[in-house]
Amino acid sequence: MRSATLVSTEQLARRLDDPDWILFDCRFTLTRPEAGRQAYTTAHIPGARYAHLDADLSAPVLPASGRHPLPDPAILGEKLGRWGVSQDVQVVVYDDSFGSMAVRLWWLLRWLGHENVGLLDGGLHKWQREKRLLTADAPTIVPARFEARPNADLCADAAEVSAAIRRGEAVLDARPEERFIGFVEPLDKVAGHIPGAMNRPFEDNLDLDGTLLGADALRAAYLEALGATPPQRSIHMCGSGVSACHNLLAMEIAGLSGARLYPGSWSEWITDPSRPTIKED
């Protein structure tokens, strides 16, 4: 069984000893960057490697970049190989924040040409509620060769976002509503959103138990959000190109493939004061 979207806790539990399944713990807290690594060291799902959002899944921040620039494909590809990822394995990613961090690695792997990657549905919280096995032991890793083949068609830049908005095409922002409208802004220097963008908080993809909604419910919600925009013409953003990947995953589950990520997102957009921003009263 291979998955390009979701993996259940039951499926993962049956595959913990399968060398063709590679697991990544992606826990991360934006305001406490080392908290995720510390939590991993204390306890994680057996076999999991740890991928750090800043150190492993992003390039260094530059004056004109967002907070989490895309990593160099060759550098990330080399790391993936050292972690034992080849083109033949099933990768599973998880976190403790409803997938909002782990989806970054889900999207990055697909960007680099690796389709067999799924998010653990319900994440670590569901795994723990079911009293499944945890360990503090480091995984045994057999290095592999990973060939990075980045797909530029999965990305949009600031100019393309501007052009899409001028055409009336859907640009969906995954941040919470209070950040989108500019009521609060705990992370970036400017509050608000891009004029013409629409708010689609990633939390709206979730059921009450923290798993993702079913394909039919997600499809109905995104078709309404997209309006006349074809899925492949839509662009997704957030604060720094991380939680927006949750909406991209939701669209894949819904059968609405081909949407693009604006990796720089709001934190890159605001580095150029000539770009328009708006706050709602």
- Annotated catalytic residue: which of 26, 155, 238, 245? 238
**CA torsion, ordered 248, 254, 258, 264, to nearest 10 deg:** -10
Question: What is the Cα 17 distance to its own chain's centre?
Answer: 26
Q: Is 238 a catalytic residue?
A: yes
Looking at the DSSP bridge assignments, the partners of residue 97 are none
Encode burial over 259-272: b for 16+ CB neighbours within 10 A, e otherwise: bbbbbbbbbbbbbe
**Number of Cβ within a 10 Å radius of residue 249:** 25
Spatial distance between the Cα atoms of 257 and 230, rounded to a whole number of angstroms = 10
- What is the DSSP secondary structure assignment for residue 142, as one 8-state letter? -
Residues in the chain, overall count: 281
Q: Residue 219: phi, psi to the nearest 5? A: -60, -45
Which residues form the catalytic set?
A: 238
